[in-house]
Structure 1
Amino acid sequence: MLREVEIEVCINSANVDYVRRAAAAAEQGGASRIELCAAMDQDGLTPAIDPIKAARQAFRPEGLMVMVRPRAGNFYYSLEESDTMVSQIEMAAQAGADGVVFGGLRARDNAIDEGLLQRLLDTARGLKLTTTFHRAFDATHDPEMSLAVLMQFGVDRVLTSGTRWGSGETAEQGVSTLNSLIAQAGKRIEIVVGGGLSPDNSRSLMGKLLPSSGKVSLHAYSGVLHNGEVSSERVRAMV
């Protein structure tokens, strides 16, 4: 059996009132973490400071993760954009975040941008924030090599579906790659499995993942919504 399987709920920061309701529902359902994002129709961008503060007030566990993604589109960032990301990490910490979620790739080969990664890690660590590398990971050409880089740099978690970014495939279709990554990760980095997960398929997925002494968690967005709102019942069903 996989151990320490926690549930992370992604919340769209539509407005402050919505964030308060969603964060409270996630906690009531037993979620260990929430990931706060703006513009989920653009795959998630950095939220403003007021929704982060609202999420901090409504979600009591030490599991408030904040997306740091300055714009939609590709994951190739200029120096100016990296400056913006540093400022956004500082803003998230000021607003009460426990961790940040970011990623960046090199345009020439779609490999992890190690210079940017080190800069963002230094900023986050200086503010005592945990770190998650988001699904830019799934846009890299070599998942095993990319995971080795993240472990070398000491990233805490990586979010992945085990499928190619933009393919439309779900984590259920990425089981083979996920199992390879879980085996490679061991206890050095947490694998956060996301991509089409819901109470209806999470048990089936877990049954297909290899036993591990490391840490694996599940990440859900639309699968825990009911009429556009985070449902504490659906979160509880996943937990």
Structure 2
Amino acid sequence: MKQYQFEVCANSAESCLAAQAGGANRVELCAGIPEGGTTPSYGDIVIAREVLNNTLLHIIIRPRGGDFLYSPIEQRIMLKDISNARRLGADGLVFGCLTAKGDVDMSLMKQLMEASEGISVTFHRAFDVCRNPEEALEQIIELGCNRILTSGQQSTAEQGIPLLKKLQQRAAGRITLLAGCGVNENNIARIAAETGIREYHFSARENIKSGMLHRNETVSMGGTVHIEEYYHPVTTAKRVRKTIEALINKVN
């Protein structure tokens, strides 16, 4: 049987615990999920490290949502966050930086890689908005990153199958491709069969109803952005297990 690895995008320490219970190999701990993931809080990292014992803990280093062109002060923040994540026991880091022209920012990435020496590094979905994915692949390999998280430059990994397959062939074992975005129990087997990729990133979240009895649904904490504030999206062990089994059972 092929060796597969499963990474859960966890939005909290609670989701980390569910990912571990469901059989995930590692988690990517993030805040700001609606923005695509931002650096989690000190408390989340500490508690996630306490509850995870069989599952690796990777921390996203992304100071804000939006693009991946970072100002000098944001670069300083990223370096501090790398230092903090390492001090708190992270097994890996997840980041990616681009130039204004859409290329990999080799200068900044080299600084971040030096700060991350000796720890696993994933170049995240900044890759999916870069100008030339094949050129970026070679640059990221040159930097020494361990893997690239990508949806094949499409809205979902399933839609990105053609590029994912092409990149997997070009990588030729020199770097690991981690297929992510929209990966679930209904499509993971197809993505694996058509791309040959062996690592998968998914959230396996469900909306859990709030326990609040008193509610004021006329007030939104997001201002003009409507968020379901009386439901909490949390990874569940059941969905993690179901997604993993959808691939493993297909292979067997």
TM-score bracket, shorter-length normalisation: 0.7 to 0.9
The residue that corresponds to 1:179 in the other structure is 165
C-alpha displacement of 1:48: 1.3
Structure 2, unaligned runs of 5 or more = 209-232, 245-252
The residue that corresponds to 1:28 in the other structure is 21
1:160 and 1:193 in contact (8 A); partners too: yes
The residue that corresponds to 1:204 in the other structure is 190
1:198 and 1:224 in contact (8 A); partners too: no
The residue that corresponds to 2:199 in the other structure is 217
Which amino acid is 1:216 matched to? Answer: R
Give the TM-score, by structure 2 length.
Answer: 0.83
Give the TM-score, by structure 1 length.
Answer: 0.88
Structure-1 separation of matches of 2:88 and 2:235: 22
2:179 to 184, 193, 198: 193
The residue that corresponds to 1:118 in the other structure is 110
Higher relative contact order (CA 8 A, sep 6+): 1
The residue that corresponds to 1:153 in the other structure is 143
1:133 to 119, 123, 126: 123
The residue that corresponds to 2:40 in the other structure is 47
Which amino acid is 1:205 matched to? Answer: I
Percent identity, aligned pairs only, is 36
Which amino acid is 1:4 matched to? Answer: Q
Q: More helix by proportion, 1 or 2? A: 1
Which amino acid is 1:104 matched to? Answer: C
| Residues 1:229 and 2:234 are matched in the alignment | yes
CA RMSD, 1 decimal = 1.5
2:24 and 2:55 in contact (8 A); partners too: no
C-alpha displacement of 1:129: 1.7
Structure-2 separation of matches of 1:216 and 1:115: 30
Structure 1, unaligned runs of 5 or more = 14-18
Deviations 1:21-55 (A, max 9, x none): 32121111110010001111111111111100111
Counting matched residue pairs gives: 220
1:29 and 1:232 in contact (8 A); partners too: yes
Which amino acid is 1:237 matched to? Answer: K
Q: Secondary structure at the match of 2:93?
A: strand
Q: Secondary structure at the match of 1:171?
A: coil
The residue that corresponds to 1:16 in the other structure is none
1:101 and 1:133 in contact (8 A); partners too: yes
The residue that corresponds to 1:162 in the other structure is 152
C-alpha displacement of 1:224: 4.0
The residue that corresponds to 1:96 in the other structure is 89
1:105 and 1:113 in contact (8 A); partners too: yes
Structure-1 separation of matches of 2:61 and 2:11: 13
